Structure 1
C-alpha cells in the first residue's frame, strides 16, 4: 500500500495526519512532500519522523511524488491540485483515494470565512475569493474520505481517533495541574500577520490577564500553531512581558 502526504504547514497538522496513518498497516509505504509554511510555523524532518507512525520517504518535488499503482493521497485542509495531477500523470488508470484531514478550526467555516482569512493575511479581494471558492469546490468534488476532529453530522461530536492522537501527542496531563476556575486565551498570530504591533498586543494580553486574575481565575495563554516557540525564555512569560513567539507549542503558559 502506498500513501502520499502533502500540505503539512505546522506540527499540529502532523497530529491530524498521524491519526489517520495509525489506521494503516505498518508496512505501508509513505512519501511525504516537504515544503510549505505558515507565518512562523516550521516543520522539520525530525518533527515528521517523531510524529508519524510509519517510516517516511521525504521528497521535495511533485515529480518524485507518485508511486505506480493504487495510492492513498492524504491532504491537509483540502486536496492539492498539483499533487493530484502528478499522481494521475504517473499512472492514469490507478485508483486514487483522497483523504482530507483538518487544518484546524478553520476547517469548520465555509468559503466566506476562508476568504475572510485570506483577506486578513493580505490577499486581494479577487484572489482571496477565487482561492476560497476553488478550495471549497475541491473539497466537495475531490475528497473521498473526510477525517475530521468534529463530526458535523453527529451534532459536532468529537471523532475519537483524532482526539486520541492529540492525547498521545500531549502526553500525560495531571488533572490537578490547573485550578478549577481558569481562563484560557486561544491566541491568533495577529502580530505576524501585521494587523497589530507587538507592544499593543502585549498590552492587550496584560489587560486580559489582570481582569481574570482580579476575578480569581488562573490565566493561561494557548498559542496558535503558527506562533513558533523558538524564542521561549527560561521562565514562562507573564503578561507584562508576553510576546506571541514566547509560548510553547503544546502546553498553555500559566501566568
Structure 2
C-alpha cells in the first residue's frame, strides 16, 4: 500500500506531496496524521527552510473522507465522539500550518474542495494551475463547510466567502486569484517550476527573520489598530537586535551579499 504522503527535501525546500489519488487526496485519518507528523518534524529541522504542499492525481484535495465519516454512524453515539475528534485533528493541522515557523506554499493543480480549500487558505502562499478549481460544497450535501469557513473568511472578502459557502459553486483559478485565495495563476506545465522558484527565493532569506515576521503577521491581524502598531514596534525592536538584522544592514551598506546565521 502506498504511503498517503510523499516527502522530499531539496535545497532547503520540503515538498509534501499528497499521494492518495484514489480518494482524490482526501484528508483521511491517515493523510492528516502523515501531514501533521511531517509538519511537526519540519518545525525544528534546520535543513528545512520552506515547505510546499502539492498533490498527485486529478485533484489537489477533496476534503474530509466521507466514507470514513459515514462508517462511524454505526457507533453507539452515531459518530458524535469521532466527528468531534476528527474536526479537532483538522483544526490542529490547519493551525500548525499558520503557526509553523517555516513559510508554507500550496501548489494547487485540480480541485481543492471543502477542507481541501481550507488547506489552501491556511497556507501562507498559494500558486494555482490555470485549470485548478475551488469550492466549499458542503451545503449541497446538507453539511455546511463551517470549519473550512474559518480559513476561507480570513483570506477573502466576506461576500466572496459567503457566496462560496452558500452556493457550493465551483470557482475557477482566475476567480480565486481575483478573490485573493491564491497569489498567482500559471500554466499547468509551469506550476512546479514557478513554485520551486518562489520557494527558492524565500529559502534564501534569513530563517530567523522569516519566523519573526510570519508570527507577527498573523498576530497583528487579530489586534485593534493601535495594539497592532504597538505589537509590531516591539517585534521590530527585537528584530533589529538579532544578529541577522545587524548582518543584513551591514551587508546592504557594504554592497555585499549577507551571510545569514539563522540565529536570534
The bucket for the TM-score relative to the shorter chain is: under 0.3
Question: TM-score by structure 1 length?
Answer: 0.27
Structure with the higher fraction of residues in helix conformation: 2
RCO higher in structure (CA 8 A, sep ≥6)? 1
Question: TM-score by structure 2 length?
Answer: 0.27
